[in-house]
A and B are shown apart, each in its own frame.
Chain A
Amino acid sequence: MFNLLVDAALWISGIFALIGAVGLLRFPDFYTRTHAATVVSMGGMTLALLALIVKTFWNIYSVKILLIIIINLLTSPTSAHIMARSAYDVGVKPKVIKDELKNRR
């Protein structure tokens, strides 16, 4: 039962990582590539580490992997937001028609 669950979650996380990497290579713009990188971080890494928690159920491995998941969930949105804001301030333009942040200051 749990072996089947762990294998299914690992395969799905591998498929998510491949989808995110293909999107990272094929999207036309920096801001859409940020979306693809978030797919890799959430669907790939967090799902694989949750599968490893279920596999080694309660010992030191599970505690350390849970710590990795908590740190990643805290820092990944902050990092994506900071990179998007700094790219806009430096001058990486998005390929869209409407630009909401043009008259910001």
Chain B
Amino acid sequence: MIEYMFALAGVLALGRIFLGPSFADRVIALGAFMNMIIVFIALYAVQTKISFYLDIAIVMVLLSFVGNLVIAKYAVRGNV
């Protein structure tokens, strides 16, 4: 039941990704959506008792941070 609540929140964040006016709205909404995916992965790993899925969650947290950094630097300077 918790998964459905997070899924509804993810659908609302996807709506903001589709109709965001500037790039920064889309990046912020994408960060929130990726947080929801990380919660999904953690719930699924605890339910099915496979601990290797949590490594994917760690890599997704780091990739979210590096992606935000690269997009911000590209938007200000014009190159990376």
Contacts and interface: CB of A to CB of B under 8 A. Distances in A.
Interface residues of A, number: 47
Interface residues of B, number: 42
Interface of B: 2, 5-6, 8-10, 12-13, 15-16, 22-25, 27-29, 31-32, 35-36, 38-39, 42-43, 45-46, 51, 54-55, 57-58, 61-62, 64-65, 68-69, 72-73, 75-76
Q: Is the interface of A mostly helix, strand, loop or mixed?
A: helix
Contact of A86 (B39, B42, B58, B76): B76
Contacts, number: 141
B1 to A, nearest CB: 8
A45 B37 CA distance: 10
A19 to B, nearest CB: 9
Interface of A: 10-11, 13-15, 17-18, 20-22, 24-25, 30, 33-34, 36-37, 40-41, 44-45, 48-49, 52, 55-56, 60-61, 64-65, 67-68, 71-72, 75, 78-80, 82-87, 89-90, 92
